[in-house]
Amino acid sequence: MKILFNFLILFVFSQSWSQSTTNQPASYYGLGESSAQNHGIFDALGKNTINVFDSTILNFYNPATYNTLSTGNTLYSYGIQARISNYSEQTKTQIGFAGMIDHIAIGVRIKKNMGLAFGLKPYSARGYQITDKIFTGFDSLEYTYKGTGAIQDLFLGYSYGIVYRPKTKLSIGANASYLFGTLTNERQAKLIASGSNQGGLNINSLIIRSFHYELGAYFQQQIGKKQGVSLSAVYLPNQTITGDYQDEFYTATNINSSATYDTIAFSRSQISLLNSSTLQLGLNYSIAFPNWKRQTRELHPKLSLMASLYQFGALKHDAQDLIPDFGMTNFQRLSFGAQFNPESRLMENISTLKGLEKMTYRIGYYTQSLPYTTNAIQYQESAVSFGLGLPIMAQMSASSVNFSVSAGTRSSNQSFGIQEKFLSVNLGFILAPSNFDKWFRQRKLD
């Protein structure tokens, strides 16, 4: 446990200097890009997040689910992602790539109907670079527009089972978070002339330091021996995100050397951002098929079908004179997914299973609007996904590797504006102690 804690602290510091997890030009607006964040399991299911949980999955998207972890089976979740995009605007094209650590979290069931989790996950990111050259009539200028930075979500979550019976469960939970990070928009003008690096630089920064919370719930009902259904919900009330807005303006004899910068203007002001309420609803239906008989074994296949609806709130601020182009509007997402397990009793029958019978197969699709607009028309995004889950059954632990691939498009559905085609790859690791080395075990003396 001490090793994991030290690694978490190291990760917190490393994230402060890490690169952005997006290459989307629209991340210029607001608090940047949030919908590009992924997870190896949930992304494979078409971004169904709040309604996917069991004893082997740490679902930090719905804080009510922490008590579904098995007793003593502490889970450690770690994810990385990579995304490659092809952008086009009329006859111009550009390739963008982004990739980094996605999240790190630890969850444990502390009593029969209580669970606890903490960790670090992405909240939003900014990352783009656009270059343009113009001739003013006397000189040629090169303009570079660049955005960098990320906001992280350091969270602590707790769940409690109000009803916790073998066939019926009702649970509630909450995540309390601390948001921190800096997002920067940089505009640079450079004189194009032989032997000259003269230019000007304008840097606008949002420095976020704020508390945040979300509430979750799920209801789970077993229907007979073969079927089950669960309803999930996560609600984020209206919240104020606080921070500072910093505006810097410099001229330089050498734009590539900060030592030559001459300050023209510098200001820093407090800013409050109002994040409107968000509501997420999810449904998960599972059915156990008749047993599949093989020569030396018997399989217990299970299929889960899921759908979810997300209504994300708009983001506004109280400094229109400082940041005129901020605009992030309400947006929605509709997700569908399916998960198939050839063997649902994995721990019991692992020794008799073939390789493909141990795996979990996932597919998904989602369509959503985005908080960005062009001529009052919102951008739209849709993607299909596929994923695999491979258990790591060393010493009978609940560890697994989860892989997903998503391919999709993003556009404003207009003849102009930036169009994007993307491919996203995600790899997630869930590590757990073996059955012979469980953590937080309660021992009794007779």
Q: What is the pLDDT of residue 410?
A: 87
Residue 280 burial (CB count, 10 A)? 23
Distance CA 437, CA 395 (A): 9
Q: What is the pLDDT of residue 377?
A: 76
- Sequence-distant (6+) residues with CB within 8 A of 412 are 373, 374, 377, 378, 379, 380, 418
Q: Calculate the average pLDDT of the chain.
A: 83
Phi, psi of 168 (to 5 degrees): -135, 130
Q: What is the pLDDT of residue 14?
A: 47
Distance CA 136, CA 191 (A): 11
Q: What tokens were used for 36? A: 């590009």
Q: Dmax over Cα atoms in the chain, in whole Å?
A: 92
Phi, psi of 82 (to 5 degrees): -145, 140
- Sequence-distant (6+) residues with CB within 8 A of 5 are none
> Tens place of pLDDT for every residue, the chain, 446 residues?
444 444 444 444 444 434 455 667 777 778 888 765 578 899 999 999 999 998 889 999 999 999 998 766 788 898 888 888 888 877 777 787 777 777 889 999 988 889 999 999 889 888 888 877 776 656 677 888 888 888 999 999 999 999 989 899 999 999 999 999 999 999 888 887 766 778 889 999 999 999 999 999 999 999 988 999 999 999 999 999 999 999 999 988 888 787 888 889 999 989 888 999 999 999 999 999 988 887 777 888 999 999 999 999 888 877 666 676 677 888 999 999 999 999 887 777 666 777 788 889 999 999 999 887 767 778 889 999 999 999 886 655 678 899 999 999 988 766 556 788 999 999 999 888 765 455 444 554 44
Q: Where are the domains of the chain?
A: 2-431
Q: What is the pLDDT of residue 16?
A: 43
- Sequence-distant (6+) residues with CB within 8 A of 198 are 190, 191, 251, 252, 253, 254, 255
Question: Which three-class secondary structure string do you get for the chain?
Answer: CHHHHHHHHHHHHHHCCCCCCCCCHHHHCCCCECCCCCCCCCCCCCCCCCCCCCCCCCCCCCHHHHHHCCCCCCEEEEEEEEEEEEEEECCEEEEEEEEEEEEEEEEEEEECCEEEEEEEEEEEECCEEEEEEEECCCCEEEEEEEEEEEEEEEEEEEEEEEEECCCEEEEEEEEEEEEEEEEEEEEEEEEEECCEECEEEEEEEEEEEEEEEEEEEEEEEEECCCEEEEEEEEEECCEEEEEEEEEEEEEECECCCHHHEEEEEEEEEEEEEEECCEEEEEEEEEEECCCEECCCCEECCEEEEEEEEEEECCEEECCCCCCCCCCECCEEEEEEEEEEECCCCHHHHHHHCCCHHHCEEEEEEEEEEEEEEECCEEEEEEEEEEEEEEEECHHHCCEEEEEEEEEEEEECCCCCCCEEEEEEEEEEEEECCCCCCCCCCCCCCC
Partners of 70 in beta bridges: none
- Sequence-distant (6+) residues with CB within 8 A of 434 are 394, 395, 396, 397
- Sequence-distant (6+) residues with CB within 8 A of 388 are 44, 359, 360, 361, 362, 402, 403, 404
CATH of domain 2-431: 2.40.160
| pTM summary value | 0.85
Distance CA 64, CA 117 (A): 10
